[in-house]
Amino acid sequence: MGPRRLSFLKAAAVALLGAAVLVPPAAAQDFVTGTSGGTTIWVGGGYQFLSLPEIQFTRRKGRRQDNTEKDFWDIGGSAGGGIETSLGYWGDVMVTGSVKGFWSNVETDRRVRCSNVANCTVVDPTGVNTFVSNSLNTKSTNDADYWGAQAELKFGSRSPMEVKPEVYRNDFFIIGFDVRGIDQDRHIHSSTGTVFTLKETLDTTYTGGYIGIGGEYSFGFIPVVGKWLKGQGGLLDRLGLRTYLNATAGLYNADSDYSGRFTGPAATRLSQSDDELAFIGTLSLETRMPLGDRTSLSLWTDYEYISSVPQMSYAGPGGTTRISDDDVFASRTMLRLNVGLGSNQLYANGY
């Protein structure tokens, strides 16, 4: 974990603690994912799927090998937390503000061989040195941290709706500021043929803003099954479950920094930087069950599309390594505990 990431995470932690100290405890009625009259905090943990672009460093018969694979099923752990508080009414619009963040880690590895051919090629990242042998046995690892912190405002109706919709009811509009990053520590090593080690860091910070909508959805529109699921006295009612969604879209500056150190028959270093415009779209689904007057449990999943994630285009003989990009999908699921601060109930009667 680099100094820049440590500094950012410390700043995010201070912001969360500061918000928790400054906002007053108050009674609250639930406002979809937050609160309409007080303060709600949440903490959670779960898992992260993240499909990062392939590492294609070595060559076999002149063709790039996939030293790692782009696989949606690469999985790791995830944790997060947040706080949301009422900011009162701005005219006829009820406003809440929140600060939240997450951190995930996904590790992948793959072993690739090149054998029984006379053209197993390694070109160091500077493109100056080319090494050819009749075999390679490479093991590649990629340890990626995916993290983010958001400050968000929601603009909703004067009083929350308690009646379940048949399909979807829009309850609020969202505007937010977002900083997130994907920081990769990569290692490629061959123990046969051209014996070499390539150690890399590839860190990308996304800074931007987003807008969106949110509200409650249900399965009531589904014939027969919908009534059984969501109708009065249906399965969801008996279990005390409500279902919600947020949909956001934003534009970001993607700032990428690469550093690579190659050792073997020769030793070289290379650094590169790149800036791109990225789009990030997120669909968040929540299933929530009240546990008491001021607590609830949520199963929360974020489905994300990121239009620009860096991918290294490695040098050929006499060429130049550069940072290109690829789009990726990610999914993060957490089981979250929500707690309303104050002495009065968080949920309305009959919720």
Q: What is the rounded CA–CA span in Å between residue 30 and residue 214?
A: 14
- 267 sits in the region (left: phi over 0; alpha: psi -120 to 50; else beta) called beta
Give the position of tokens 């860091």. Answer: 201
Closest CA to 237 of 251, 250, 212, 219: 219
The answer as to whether 260 is a domain residue is yes
Put residue 203 in one of left, alpha, beta given phi > 0 → left and psi -120 to 50 → alpha: beta
349 within a domain of the structure (yes/no)? no
Residue 347 lies in a domain: no
**pLDDT tens digits along 274-333:** 999 999 999 999 999 989 888 999 999 999 999 999 999 999 988 999 999 999 999 999
Amino acid letter, 60:
R
Alpha helices in the chain (DSSP H): 3-22, 225-230, 235-239
Query: How many domains is the chain built from?
Result: 1
Q: Give Cα separations from 132 to 108, 119, 127 (angstroms).
A: 27, 6, 14
Report yes or no on 346 lying in a domain: no
**How many CA atoms within 13 Å lie on the side-chain side of 149?**
14
CATH number of the domain residue 119 falls in? 2.40.128
The DSSP result for 17-78, as a single string, is HHHHHHSPP----EETTEESSSEEEEEEEEEEEE-PPPP---EETTEEP-SS---TT-EEEE
> Is 351 inside a domain boundary?
no
Its pTM stands at 0.85
Range of the domain at 170: 3-341
Mean pLDDT by 10 residues, the chain (351 residues): 42 37 34 57 96 94 90 88 92 92 96 88 95 94 97 83 78 97 97 95 98 88 70 71 94 98 96 97 95 91 97 92 95 96 63 50
